[in-house]
Copies of this chain bind each other. A is one copy, B any other.
Amino acid sequence: MTGEFKSTLDSKGRMNVPIKLREEFGERFFISKTIGSRCIKVYKVEDWQALVSKIDDMPLVQAQPVRRHLIGSAYEVIPDKQGRISVPPTLREYAKLSLDVVVVGVGKYAEIWDKAEWTLENEQRDNETLAELATVLNI
């Protein structure tokens, strides 16, 4: 999934997910905390399961932080007939979601941002880093 789509949280903490996401991710998918960014990461079921398997294959003690952070904040969500999902309070707080949110498709997965945070992220994205990456990728 690619591109940016805006939505809003209603008074019950529900939000619309863009049709494109439903089309590409299917009827159910997983949402959980990101690592390093104040946003929610959206996984396809199979990708989520693969991730859990990877964690399961690690030594228990070593994997504990990631297990608690990722798996401990993950929810399987199923959009209702209107295409809405309800975002659990934990994740709403983590991603600082208030009213306006942005769903960003970044290929294999998608991200859910508070609009203000996303704007900030875009502004702070380092142009030099981008330019370097552009050189590496030759684009």
Interface residues of A (CB under 8 A from B): 2-4, 30, 32, 35-36, 51-52, 54-56, 61-63, 65-76, 88, 90, 104-108, 111, 121-122, 125-127, 129-131, 133-134, 137, 139
Contact = CB atoms under 8 A, between A and B. Distances in A.
A55 B130 contact: no
Give the most central of A104, A111, A121, A133: most B CB within 10 Å: A133
B137 A36 contact: no
Contacts of A32: 2
21 contacts: A2-B75, A2-B76, A3-B72, A3-B74, A3-B90, A4-B88, A35-B130, A35-B133, A35-B134, A36-B61, A36-B130, A36-B134, A56-B107, A66-B133, A68-B111, A68-B125, A69-B125, A69-B130, A70-B139, A71-B106, A72-B105
B61 A107 contact: no
B137 A68 contact: no
Nearest to A37: B64
B67 A106 contact: yes
B107 A137 contact: no
Nearest to A125: B65
Contacts of A3: 72-75, 88, 90
Contacts of A139: 35, 51, 70
B121 A68 contact: yes
